[in-house]
Amino acid sequence: MRVAMYYNNRDVRLEEMPMPVIGSGELLVRVKASGICGTDVMEWYRIKKAPLVLGHEIAGEVAAVGDGIKEYRIGDRVFVSHHVPCMQCRYCRAGHHSVCDTLRSTHFDPGGFAEYLRVPRINVQLGTFRLPQEISFDDGSFIEPLGCIVRAQRFAGIVAGQSVLVVGSGISGLMHIKLARARGAALIVATDVNDFRLRAAREMGADAALTAGSDVIDKFQKMNDGRLADLVIVCTGANAAIAQALRSVERGGTVLFFAPTAAGVEVPIPLYDLWRDEVRIVTSYAASPDDIKEAIDLLQSRRVVVSDMITHRLGIADAGRGFELVANAGDSIKVIIDPAI
């Protein structure tokens, strides 16, 4: 079968691999759509494991069923999670599924940028969901990233009527805008340094989109009756953006760090100011099975619409171009790889 083999962000090669062989309790899934995630192009992280087949935002159909499986049949439309928690350890029981050791060690074989993938038994049991007919394969590739957004905003405790500042208007920031709007946010302001993304933020539901800079806080306050943001969502690892986010939060508010810095980067925290103003700092990574279920429901009910975020659909032979589009952060939002093209 054909795969897109990742060597670095500028070197993604079309290669051949043997078709995965499934065992008892496993599924073979034909990939119909696989989104390129911003984390796929975090080269400092990915290159340590290269060469490898990436891709975890997938939707597809069952191509073969292993012995013992009764829940799925050939032809079923499915979404599959690449990471799944055990649901039994102390972390899972405490609601911190994404730090579960099992979640951090599970994956499918080889990855979503392939014509087929093998779904291990535990991923079948805890991470495979039927794709409703109302959700296209393309939209189904948003289930995993939307699940991550669902989890993050749940951790942040977003409620209707809040003012929200989204720092960074890449794909994650835009999805945060859409979900915050669906949750009833009263004011949503987005920032970025890229004009294309600022336009996209307005189109995706932001009340205003501001070029990142020293005047963002003043402009936000003028739109919000003199107050800072109840919730600041940080979707970039840039130090300047992080510093501005920490200055933009209202007393009693919350700063949600959704995007990481590179490993080892230290960020100064104005602890006295945060302590005095009772500001909460929240982080979130990945999604639990319940978050995935909610994401499916949001897409099926069309409370969150994602089809307008797809800017490029490419075949697996053009995956390299897709990686360049995402890494360069130019005029793309969501790039989807369709192995059938």
What is the crossing angle of helices 143-156 and 171-182, to 10°? Answer: 60
Helix (H, G, I), strand (E, B) or coil at 54: coil
pLDDT digits (tens, 9 = 90+) for 9-56: 999 999 999 999 999 999 999 999 999 999 898 888 898 889 999 999
Looking at residue 109, the DSSP 8-state letter turns out to be B
pLDDT digits (tens, 9 = 90+) for 295-336: 999 999 999 999 999 999 999 999 999 999 999 988 899 999
CA dihedral 138, 135, 20, 118 (to 10 degrees): 120
What is residue 45's predicted lDDT score, i.e. its pLDDT? 83
* Location of structure tokens 């794709």: 131
pLDDT of 263 > 90? The answer is no
> What is the distance between the alpha carbons of residues 309 and 137, in angstroms, rounded to a whole number?
14
Neighbours of 50 (CB within 10 A): 14
Contact 325, 336 (CB under 8 A): no
What is residue 330's predicted lDDT score, i.e. its pLDDT? 80
Q: Residue 298: CB partners within 8 Å, gap ≥ 6?
A: 146, 150, 179, 182, 304
* Location of structure tokens 């994602």: 306
Average pLDDT over residues 173-177: 98
* Structural Rg of the chain based on CA atoms: 20
Return contacts of 43-51, CB within 8 angstroms, 24+ apart.
43/8, 43/9, 43/327, 44/262, 44/263, 45/262, 45/263, 46/6, 46/8, 47/8, 50/6, 50/7, 50/8, 51/5, 51/6, 51/7
* Location of structure tokens 């060469």: 51
pLDDT of 191 > 90? The answer is yes
Q: Between β-strands 77-80 and 57-65, what pairing exists: parallel, antiparallel or unpaired?
A: antiparallel
pTM of the model: 0.96
Domains of the chain as residue ranges with CATH: 2-142+306-337 (3.90.180.10), 148-283 (3.40.50.720)
Average pLDDT over residues 120-126: 97
pLDDT of 147 > 90? The answer is yes
What is residue 92's predicted lDDT score, i.e. its pLDDT? 98
pLDDT digits (tens, 9 = 90+) for 70-95: 999 999 999 999 999 999 999 999 99
125 backbone dihedrals φ, ψ, rounded to 5°: -70, -40
pLDDT of 145 > 90? The answer is yes
Contact 27, 72 (CB under 8 A): yes
> With pLDDT > 70 as the criterion, what percentage of the chain qualifies?
100
What is the crossing angle of helices 171-182 and 195-203, to 10°? Answer: 20
pLDDT digits (tens, 9 = 90+) for 197-228: 999 999 999 999 999 988 999 999 999 999 99
